[in-house]
């Protein structure tokens, strides 16, 4: 069923505590942890506890959880003190865009000069 944990999903396993992660914040519906291969001084992933393959499908299937992920991205930025200097929220969608883990997640990047993409 939509939103249910997937047995072979890395981020479902992290959400369940079966694989360790450096957790920076958690709520009933989300988990935020440091990216294992950081691309900026602050590089935190915010995931919903429910499983959807990407951000758009999350928003369609569970709009509340999608809003929670976005709110938590802002909370992480504040906690990491990058809200003043600016930060970027990225949702890679599809392998052509660099998505490698097909459980919706927001990258929160900050703490260095982030070149403008668009």
x/- track of binding to Zn ion for residues 10-49 (CB under 5 A)? -xx-------------------------------------
If the CB atoms of residues 37 and 84 are measured against ligand AMP, the closer one turns out to be 37
Q: Does 115 bind ligand AMP (CB under 6 A)?
A: no
The question of whether 105 is a catalytic residue gets the answer: yes
Q: How many CA atoms lie within 13 A of 36 on its CB side?
A: 7
Instruction: Give the position of tokens 């990258």.
Output: 107
Interface with ligand AMP (CB under 6 A), residue total 11
Mark the segment that binds ligand AMP (CB under 6 A) among 30-38, 48-56, 65-73, 78-86.
30-38
If the CB atoms of residues 12 and 76 are measured against Zn ion, the closer one turns out to be 12
Binder of residue 21, out of Zn ion, ligand AMP, none (CB less than 5 to 8 A by kind):
ligand AMP
Between CA 87 and CA 84 the distance in angstroms is: 8
Closest approach, Cβ 83 to ligand AMP, in A, equals 21
Instruction: Give the position of tokens 């949702």.
Output: 91
Q: Please identify which of the residues 43, 103, 105, 107 carries the catalytic annotation.
A: 105
25: left (phi over 0), alpha (psi -120 to 50) or beta: beta
DSSP 28-74: SSEEEEE-SS-SSSEEEEEEESSB-SSHHHHHHH-HHHHHHHHHHHH
- Residues identified as active-site: 105
């Amino acid at each position: 069923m939509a939103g249910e944990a997937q047995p072979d999903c890395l981020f479902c396993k992290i959400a369940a505590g079966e694989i360790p992660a450096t957790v920076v914040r958690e709520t009933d519906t989300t988990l935020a942890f440091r990216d294992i291969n950081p691309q900026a001084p602050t590089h935190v992933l915010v995931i919903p506890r429910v499983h959807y393959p990407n951000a758009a499908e999350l928003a369609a299937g569970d709009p509340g959880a999608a809003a929670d992920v976005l709110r938590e991205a802002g909370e992480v930025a504040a906690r990491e003190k990058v809200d003043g200097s600016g930060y970027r929220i990225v949702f890679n969608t599809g392998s052509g865009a660099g998505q490698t883990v097909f459980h919706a997640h927001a990258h929160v990047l900050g703490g260095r000069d982030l070149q403008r993409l668009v």
